[in-house]
Amino acid sequence: MRSPDQSREGNTKKVKVAYLVSHPIQYQAPLLRRIAQEPDIELTVFFASNFSVQEYVDKGFGVDVKWDVPLLDGYRYEFLPAIWDKRRTGPTAQLNYGIFSRLRGGKERRGFDVLWVHGYSTLNTLQAMLMAKALGIPVLLRAESRLGRRQAGALKQMAKRLFFSGLKLLVDGVLPIGSLNAAYWRHALGEELPQFSMPYAVDNDYFQSRSREADLRRGDLLRELGLDASRPVILFASKLQRRKRCEDLLEAYLSLCSEAGSAPVPYLVIVGDGEERAALERRVSESGAGGVRFCGFRNQSELPGFFSLATVFVLPSQDEPWGLIVNEVMNSGRAVILSDDVGCQPDLVTDGVEGCVFPVGDVNALTEALHRVLESPETARIMGQRGLNRISAWSYEKDMIGLRRAIAAVTRRLST
């Protein structure tokens, strides 16, 4: 009888991969299920906390959140015992124990061949990388980081250099999520550290399927929100935080409406909640604009319905590490407008092709971008189709290629 460690392809033992992450994340669960399907990889996910599995207060949204998509199905996982758990994210939010014994294994189970960590600045990831190094287990690192626009002070730069010189000794390879992330790793850890592209993707099949279903029910949501189907819809869907800069979009929208003339006046649909909502609602009330709809927080499975309504999706954020909702919207075949401070922009959106790109904080440029996309229904439709074509190639299958290459490089055991 074949042991659990043996591949379906033969008698070669599976490569055992430990993945350490802070908590179950709705964007990551489908990828973990996909990795678990590989016949020659045995993945075990170690979580520091289970707070996201239950209802919790999301600091960014400012409301109670309980995700309505499966977070733990389809892969092997364990919640590590905690010394403390503050039930949120952050460098010191959790400290767990038992990582060393799990990585090492024992008489009844073989130790791990690879440690993969998400992020590098928490107490847990740092201790896990140190323990892996002591055990001779190679470490792969994935994170959302990119170079900031602001130059840090001399003292902070020196501290960062010292930190990264130590971190470099603990890491055998990095898994860049995109071009800006790859540049960050080259800057922080040097040109010689191996990089294996593992694009920040979503479950394209899921979102394309849900988009088609949502299109069939589009009329129901139009009626719920009191929208005229003949008018364009501008969609914002994110946390209503200062750095998301929804106020820039609102000002651009009000400017666009004042210039509409005989053209159909668009709607602005705002999905999300947070600290800026009250101020945005006051501004709408003061303006007298009747085309703005505040829809509050909507769960993951509800979003494709709003994507179906949209003529164009706008993310005007400042200092946005990636913006996975852009991936989701593009899977619905919708045009997108992004600020040039959104991390996914260089990889997913070219100005004038899948949508438009504008300088972050420039309301006039954002207004002009809206004019360009909404020039005609055909313009937005063509941009959306180009986006769908582009995002279809930014996929979990590309992730698997990169992850397998990385594992093969650091273990010399896995075929690519």
Strand-pairing partners, residue 118, are 142
Q: Which residues contact 281 (CB under 8 A, 6 or more apart)?
A: 294
Range of lowest pLDDT (146-150, 181-185, 373-377, 382-386): 146-150
What pLDDT does residue 9 have? 40
Q: Give the confidence band of 6 by pLDDT, cuts at 50, 70, 90.
A: very low
Q: Please determine, for residue 415, whether its predicted confidence score (pLDDT) is greater than 80.
A: no
What pLDDT does residue 127 have? 97
Q: Please determine, for residue 340, whether its predicted confidence score (pLDDT) is greater than 70.
A: yes
What pTM did the predictor assign? 0.91
What pLDDT does residue 253 have? 97
Average pLDDT over residues 343-356: 98
What pLDDT does residue 262 have? 55
Query: What is the C-alpha separation between 195 and 104, in angstroms, rounded?
Result: 26
The mean pLDDT value of the chain amounts to 92
Q: Please determine, for residue 351, whether its predicted confidence score (pLDDT) is greater than 70.
A: yes
Query: What is the C-alpha separation between 318 and 377, in angstroms, rounded?
Result: 28
What pLDDT does residue 11 have? 41
Query: What is the C-alpha separation between 211 and 304, in angstroms, rounded?
Result: 5
Average pLDDT over residues 166-177: 97
Query: What is the C-alpha separation between 75 and 91, in angstroms, rounded?
Result: 26
Q: Please determine, for residue 243, whether its predicted confidence score (pLDDT) is greater than 50.
A: yes
Condensed to tens digits (0 to 9), the pLDDT of residues 78-133 reads 999 999 999 899 999 999 999 999 999 987 788 999 999 999 999 999 999 999 99
- Residue intervals of the chain classified under CATH 3.40.50.2000 are 15-201+395-411, 204-392
What pLDDT does residue 108 have? 77
Query: What is the C-alpha separation between 336 and 89, in angstroms, rounded?
Result: 29
Average pLDDT over residues 321-349: 97
Q: Write down the H helix ranges in 80-178.
A: 99-104, 123-135, 154-167
Query: What is the C-alpha separation between 191 and 184, in angstroms, rounded?
Result: 10
What pLDDT does residue 117 have? 98
Tokens of 90: 């952050």
Q: State phi, psi for 139 to the nearest 5 degrees.
A: -120, 130
Q: What CATH number matches the domain at 15-201+395-411, 3.40.950.10, 3.40.50.300, 3.20.20.10, 3.40.50.2000? A: 3.40.50.2000
Q: Give the confidence band of 242 by pLDDT, cuts at 50, 70, 90.
A: very high
SS3 (DSSP) at 294: strand
Query: Is 204-392 CATH 2.40.160.20?
Result: no
What pLDDT does residue 290 have? 93
Q: What is the DSSP string of 9-44?
A: TSSPBPEEEEEEESS--TTTHHHHHHHHT-TTEEEE
Q: Count the neighbouring beta carbons within 10 Å of the beta carbon of residue 263.
A: 14
Q: 226-230 long-range CB contacts below 8 Å, 24 or more apart?
A: 226/293, 227/267, 227/269, 227/293, 227/309, 230/264
Condensed to tens digits (0 to 9), the pLDDT of residues 59-81 reads 666 666 777 789 999 999 999 99
Q: What are the Cα distances from residue 362, in Å, to 58, 289, 316, 317?
A: 29, 21, 9, 11
Q: Which of 192, 196, 49, 22 is nearest to 114 (CA)?
A: 196
Q: Please determine, for residue 297, whether its predicted confidence score (pLDDT) is greater than 50.
A: yes
- For 52-107, what is the HEC assignment? HHCCEEECCCCEEECCCCCCCCCCEEEECCEEEECCCCCCCCEEECCHHHHHHCCC
Condensed to tens digits (0 to 9), the pLDDT of residues 79-89 reads 999 999 998 99
Instruction: Calculate the CA 113 to chain-centre distance.
Output: 27
